[in-house]
Structure 1
């Protein structure tokens, strides 16, 4: 059976994913990237308008990986509170990897201009994550979903940064525990179909 050789585009994206995440999108030059991917310079400009477009594709790929990892941890769960905590479980899995290097979007954005592709990718992922938290807290019947989503996102951001600084996944577990406490103690507008483990049910409003 013949094994299909990855296309030049696939090899460029694979090399970009590894090098950009490990070393930084601006620290890695075009020649290094081409050498790692084993392609000619013409292949880069045939598949991408330039390095900026390749950086954008790399960040899109990282966003897809994050979403897929979260979805895998949420699979089979019906309780929206458990789905929220599964987002932290997915982050803990990533932080436990020996190649973990923090948030790819924040890392790339730190090196970029305010209106660049890196900044757009960071905003898009953060908006998506905030909407996940807001939607799930709404499904769980919490009263102030926007405030609660803000609190959860701050916890998530702190877990990303601290686990990167400490090079271990334990800070994510701490953040997950705090998130569970917040969810248990927060007011619910309705008597929801699901509730955090150990939480007392709130009576329905008259």
Structure 2
């Protein structure tokens, strides 16, 4: 792409920052964060180094933006599931089927948050804190759904549902056998919820 004096003209008006983030989103997820250099993303986005570092002073700043963008997209999808579902039970079923659909899609490489966390060992790093914040949000989201289903003591059930989600994402990446995956996830989720309801009655 032709550039003039280090300035970038986004194709079809697409903002430069979005072009950089789109390149990061594709390559960080497909190949791993450490494996993708800033120079490669600069070339992929068709921007100058000056422009790249003006938007993202360090690669870690870009990784943080990538993780936050992934989190925002996932939150939007989960809220849409809740808006479109008849009740909390239907929402949980939609989540299970959504995980199955995602894990069967081309290019699926597991959970982007777990993948990113594996590359940042320090739990106090801003990237890890962003991942932790998103998982806290997800736990609260599940807790609200369980509350609507009459589960009073929700902490253990939320933890189990998150274990189920994480395990399903990992299995989806590693396993070639995808038959009946959605129903398996939904059945396991129902078992967690029913056990929590039963505990609440005893």
TM above 0.5, yes or no, is yes
Any stretches of 5+ residues in structure 2 without a counterpart? 1-10
CA–CA distance in structure 2, aligned partners of residues 53 and 167 of structure 1: 35
1:90 counterpart residue number: 98
CA RMSD of aligned residues (A): 2.2
CA–CA distance in structure 2, aligned partners of residues 41 and 33 of structure 1: 10
2:81 counterpart residue number: 73
> Does the 8 Å contact 2:100/2:185 carry over to 1?
no
- Normalised TM-score (structure 2): 0.84
CA–CA distance in structure 2, aligned partners of residues 58 and 37 of structure 1: 14
1:110 maps onto 2:110 in alignment? no
Counterparts of residues 142-153 of structure 1 (less than 5 Å): 142-153=151-162
> Does the 8 Å contact 1:74/1:83 carry over to 2?
yes
Moved more, 7-16 or 167-176: 167-176
Match of 2:174 among 158, 165, 168: 165
Name the CA shift for 1:128/1:172 in 2 (closer, same or farther; >3 Å): farther
- Return the structure number with greater helix share: 2
CA–CA distance in structure 1, aligned partners of residues 136 and 176 of structure 2: 26
Counterparts of residues 1-150 of structure 1 (less than 5 Å): 4-114=12-122, 115-150=124-159
CA–CA distance in structure 1, aligned partners of residues 38 and 195 of structure 2: 52
The structural deviation recorded for 1:178 is 1.0
Partner-residue secondary structure (3-state), 1:16: helix
- Normalised TM-score (structure 1): 0.83
> Does the 8 Å contact 2:101/2:182 carry over to 1?
no
CA–CA distance in structure 2, aligned partners of residues 124 and 96 of structure 1: 27
The structural deviation recorded for 1:111 is 1.2
CA–CA distance in structure 2, aligned partners of residues 154 and 174 of structure 1: 14
Count of aligned positions: 190
Partner-residue secondary structure (3-state), 2:114: helix
Moved more, 179-188 or 41-50: 179-188
> Does the 8 Å contact 1:30/1:51 carry over to 2?
yes
The structural deviation recorded for 1:109 is 1.3
Any stretches of 5+ residues in structure 1 without a counterpart? 191-201
> Does the 8 Å contact 1:160/1:172 carry over to 2?
no
The structural deviation recorded for 1:54 is 0.7
CA–CA distance in structure 2, aligned partners of residues 11 and 97 of structure 1: 23
CA–CA distance in structure 1, aligned partners of residues 129 and 32 of structure 2: 17
